[in-house]
Structure 1
Amino acid sequence: MKNQKGFTLIELMVVVAIIGILAAIAIPQYSKYQARAKVSAGLAEAASYKSGFEDLLNSGTTVSQTNLNAPASTGNCTFTFTDGVTGTIQCALVNPPTVIAGGTILLTRSSTGWTCTSSAIASTYLPKGCAAAANAG
């Protein structure tokens, strides 16, 4: 009798089951990674304007998008700048993953320094040092 070569149906089913289990674990983790990366990128872009913001305030110039030489939006943020001693830099996330849809990052200047808060972004997706709003989770 000839020896047959190849895999049995049971062996193939076991391999497919293992791949399915790995995918069930990996896909949610990848989604979480995407959300965290988007928030971190938005925070980095917003934070890059802090020194220019301070420089404008110290020189007595009004803080604005034009004076900061900032774009209206980038691949990660749509910016809003508020002038004043307690001025703000707001980044509304552009094309975020579903779990952080509608999320914004707010850098607020005070006499003690800058603070980071967010809205519509759960603390799970925020970098250290950035606090979630009370209703964000």
Structure 2
Amino acid sequence: MSDVIARRAARVLVVDETQRVLMFRGCDPAHPEVRFWLTAGGGAQASETLPETAARELAEETGLRVEPAALGEPVFEDVSEFSFNGRRYRQEQTFFLLRVPSWEVDHSGAGEVEHASVDMHRWWTTAELRTAPEPIYPRDLPDLLDRLGVG
């Protein structure tokens, strides 16, 4: 495997009025048998701020369009190391919280990579996340949601 690729990412915790968080079930295309759940978001382009990245990724992956300023201040930051499609990544990621009354997800703006690696979405309660049969990322998401007053 090649060198580790460093990248910045922005992710969005989309929470509806019933206190559920929107998650996507994905896989590494190199290992499609291994499934996991993650939030909306992705890698930053060179010219973007993290709120701009979060707003762009949210629109692409969900159809929900918001101004970057509507995301407010970050609520969490972490570093994730993972393999994807035969390459190693070290991703510094910043999370934003967005509360919505409800939302019908529209995947039509998602790119080729998302269409190849994401097969479904679901709204989860914090209790459901704690007992999920597949890994959840970030791993401490239920505790983070508790700290944010979700659930």
Between the two structures, name the one with larger relative contact order (CA 8 Å, sep ≥ 6): 2
* TM-score, structure 2 normalization: 0.24
Q: Which has the higher strand share?
A: 2
* TM-score, structure 1 normalization: 0.26
Larger Rg: 1
